[in-house]
Every structure is written in C-alpha cells, then in structure tokens.
C-alpha cells in the first residue's frame, strides 16, 4: 500500500542527516570540478532545503538530542583540512 507506520518513518528519518555543513563554492579547487557535478551538487542542496522545510512543517523544527556543534560537523571537510595541514609544510 506504500503506507509507513510512525515508527518506520522515525527509523528512516534517523538515517538521513540534513544538518551538516556543505562545501562552499569558494572551497579550494571548487571551480575545477566538472560542471555536471556542480549542477548535481546545486540540485541536491535545493532538494535538501525543500526536505528540511517540509520536515520542519511536519515535526515543528524538533531536532535530535545531539549537540548543535556535532550536528554541524562535516567529517569530510575535517579530513580535507587535516590533509591540507599535513601537506602544506612546504
């Protein structure tokens, strides 16, 4: 039937994180990425914003119990920063 129980919705909702930082178009090497990839990123960010708005309407903006600093952490960005630091010893 395509219907989900409230528990199924909560389980699926917990699998997706929409509150992490995203790469910025000013990031090193951003302009060197393929145009098709940049378009995909742009479309995915618009979809993410739409899902967040719908989620806030449905759930009233209730967030997980995780601290806000942890929610904003971006592990990929953290690793890139570490790599930049490691190889910048020139």
**Residue 69 located in a structural domain:** yes
**Dist CA 45 CA 39 (whole Å):** 10
The model's pLDDT over 54-81, given as tens digits with 9 standing for 90+, comes to 888 887 865 554 444 545 567 777 777 7
**Residue 57 located in a structural domain:** yes
Q: What is the pLDDT of residue 35?
A: 93
Q: What is the pLDDT of residue 61?
A: 63
Do the beta carbons of residue 44 and residue 22 sit within 8 Å?
A: no
**Residue 1 located in a structural domain:** no
The model's pLDDT over 14-36, given as tens digits with 9 standing for 90+, comes to 887 777 777 777 788 888 999 99
Q: What is the pLDDT of residue 36?
A: 95
pTM of the predicted structure, to 2 decimals:
0.53
Write a three-state SS string for 16-82. Answer: CCCCCCCCCCCCCCHHHCCHHHHHHHHHHHHHHHHHHHHHHHHHCCCCCCCCHHHHHCCHHHHHHHH
**Residue 76 located in a structural domain:** yes
Domain containing 41: what range?
6-87
Number of domains making up the chain: 1
**Residue 77 located in a structural domain:** yes
Q: What is the pLDDT of residue 72?
A: 57
**Dist CA 55 CA 47 (whole Å):** 12
**Residue 43 located in a structural domain:** yes
**Residue 39 located in a structural domain:** yes
**Dist CA 23 CA 21 (whole Å):** 7
**Residue 35 located in a structural domain:** yes
């Amino acid at each position: 039937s395509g219907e989900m129980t409230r528990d199924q919705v909560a389980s699926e909702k917990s699998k997706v994180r929409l509150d992490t930082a995203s790469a910025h178009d000013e990031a090193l090497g951003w302009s060197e990425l393929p145009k098709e990839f940049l378009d995909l990123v742009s479309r995915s960010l618009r979809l993410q914003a739409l899902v967040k708005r719908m989620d806030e309407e449905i759930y009233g903006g209730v967030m997980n119990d995780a601290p806000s600093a942890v929610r904003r952490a971006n592990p990929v960005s953290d690793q890139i920063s570490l790599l930049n630091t490691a190889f910048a010893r020139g």
